[in-house]
Amino acid sequence: MLSKWQWVLKKVVQKLWFRATLFAIAAIATALVSILFKSFIPVSVSVRIGAEAVDNILNILASSMLAVTTFSLNIMVGAYSSATTNVSPRATRLVIADATTQNVLATFIGSFLFSLVGIIALNMGAYGERGRVILFVVTLVVIALILITLLRWIQHLTSLGRVGETTARVEQIAIEAFVQRAQSPCLGGFPWIENHIQPQGTFALFSEQIGYVGHIDIGRLASLLENSTIQVYLLAQPGSYVHPSRAVMYLTEQIPPAMAEKILATLTISDVRSFTQDPRFCLSVLAEIACRALSPAVNDPGTAIDVTSRVVRVLSEYARNLPQTSQILYSAIHVAPLQVHHLMEDYFLPVSRDGASTPEVLIRNLKSLAMLSDGWPDIYRDAARQQAAAIIERQKIVNLTGSEKAQISRLYHALFS
C-alpha cells in the first residue's frame, strides 16, 4: 500500500505543471550547457560547420512554439469541456492527467524556453564561434523532438476527449483499483465482517474535518500502534464521507489527544473522491457515463451497453485476483472488506433504473449479471440475482409493450432459474 507521501507525490506527478516545469528546466539547462562545453570544440570544426543559421532557427522556434502551445491549450480545454458534457465531470480528471497531452505541452513550452534562452545568450555573446556549434547541434535535436511530438499529438487528437476514449480510461483505472483491492481485500488488515456494530468496550474516534477519505496510510497507522495493545476498527474507508458527528474508527483503549491527532493524520480527507483506493467510486463514475447516455437529451443506449460490458470486465478482474486466503499484514487493524451487493448496486441499480424503458439495456444488464453469477457463483450469485429480480420488478411498471416484457421475463427465467 502507498504511504501518504507516496500518494501525494503520485498526485503531484500527474499535474500538468509538474511535467511542464521539468521540461522547462531541462530546456534552460540544455541551452546553457553549450556555453560550458564550447572549449571542447576544435576551432577547425567551428570554422567548417559555421552554424551561423542558428540565430534564424532559434527565432523561428521561439515564435512558432508559442503559437503552437497556445493552440494546443485551446484544444485541450475543448477536450476537457467535451468530456465534462458528454461523459462525466468526474472523468475529466483522468483526461487532465493524460500523459501524452502533458508531454506534448511540456515539450512545446520547453522548446520555446530553449530558443528564448539561446537567443538571449547569443545576443550577449556568451557562446562564441565554438559554442554556436554545440547550440546548432542541440537545436537540430530539439527540432527532431518537436517533429516526433507533433506527429504523436496529431494522432492523439483523434481520440482526446471522446466518449469511448474517456470511458476506456475510467475502465483502466477501475481495473487497477479493483486488482489492488483484491490483492489486499482489507487493505492488509484483519477482516471485520460485522462492521455495522460497534464492538463492545471500544471508544469512538471522530475527525474534525468534513469531506471524503481519499487515502489511508495503513502502514503509518500500524506503526503508531506497534508498541501498544490497541486494536483499531476502521469505519472510514477510501470514499467514505466523514463528519465530526460520525466516528471514523473505534479503538479498544482511550488515547491522549496527541496520539489521536497522529492517528487521524493517517487519513487524507479532501473535497472530492479519488480513484486510487476507491473502487466503488470507479463504478459510480461508469454508472454516471451510462446514465448520461440514457438521458433523453443524449438517448444513446449503445454507449450504456458498452459501459456495461466494461463493468463486466472490471468485476471479472476483481474476482480473478481475489486470493483464496487474504494475507493479514496488520493484525491490530480491523477493516471491512468490500461488499459485493454494494458493488452491484453502485452500477446496475442506477443504470437499470434509467434504462428501464429501453429493452436492449435491460437485456444486456441481465446477461451481464448472469455472466458474473455463472463465472464466480460464490462471489456474485446472490447479489446478481437480487439485481436481476429488481430489473424484472421495475419493468412491470414501465411503459414497455407486452412482447418486450415477455421477452425480458423469458430471458430472466432462462438465466436465473
pLDDT in tens, the chain (417 residues): 677 777 778 778 878 788 888 888 887 887 777 666 655 555 554 444 444 667 788 888 888 888 888 888 888 888 888 888 878 888 888 888 888 888 888 888 888 888 888 888 877 777 666 677 777 888 888 899 999 988 888 888 877 778 888 899 999 999 999 999 998 888 888 888 877 788 888 999 999 999 999 889 898 999 998 888 889 999 998 999 999 999 999 999 998 999 999 999 999 998 988 888 899 999 999 999 999 999 888 889 999 999 999 999 999 999 999 887 777 888 889 998 889 999 999 999 999 999 988 999 999 999 999 999 999 999 999 999 999 999 998 888 888 888 988 999 999 999 987
Note the pLDDT of residue 39. 59
Q: Would you state the cell numbers that stand for residue 247, as one nine-digit string?
A: 466516528
- Evaluate whether residue 33 is within a structural domain: yes
Note the pLDDT of residue 48. 45
> Residue 226: what are its φ and ψ, rounded to 5°?
-60, -40
- Evaluate whether residue 105 is within a structural domain: yes
Triad 88, 96, 273: Cα angle to 5°: 55
Q: Would you state the cell numbers that stand for residue 9, as one nine-digit string?
A: 507525490
Return d(Cα 298, Cα 270) in angstroms, integer: 32
- Evaluate whether residue 198 is within a structural domain: no
- Evaluate whether residue 330 is within a structural domain: no
- Evaluate whether residue 82 is within a structural domain: yes
- Evaluate whether residue 209 is within a structural domain: no
Burial track 19-43 (b if 16+ CB lie within 10 A, e otherwise):
bbeebbeebbebbeebbeebeebee
Domain count across the chain:
1
Note the pLDDT of residue 43. 52
Asked if 343 and 315 count as a contact pair (C-beta separation under 8 A), the reply is: yes
Q: What DSSP state is assigned to residue 216?
A: E
Within a 10 A sphere around the Cβ of 16, how many other Cβ atoms? 16
Return d(Cα 412, Cα 410) in angstroms, integer: 5
Q: Would you state the cell numbers that stand for residue 113, as one nine-digit string?
A: 524556453
Which of 352, 349, 364 lies closest to 395, judged by CA?
352
The count of C-alpha atoms lying within 13 angstroms of the C-alpha of 281, restricted to the half-sphere facing its C-beta, is 23
Which of 185, 415, 362 lies closest to 277, judged by CA?
185
Note the pLDDT of residue 260. 92
Triad 160, 163, 167: Cα angle to 5°: 95
Note the pLDDT of residue 195. 72
Amino acid letter at 70? Answer: T
- Evaluate whether residue 195 is within a structural domain: no
Strands (E), 5-161: none
Q: Can you give the residue range of the structural domain that contains 109?
A: 4-161
- Evaluate whether residue 319 is within a structural domain: no
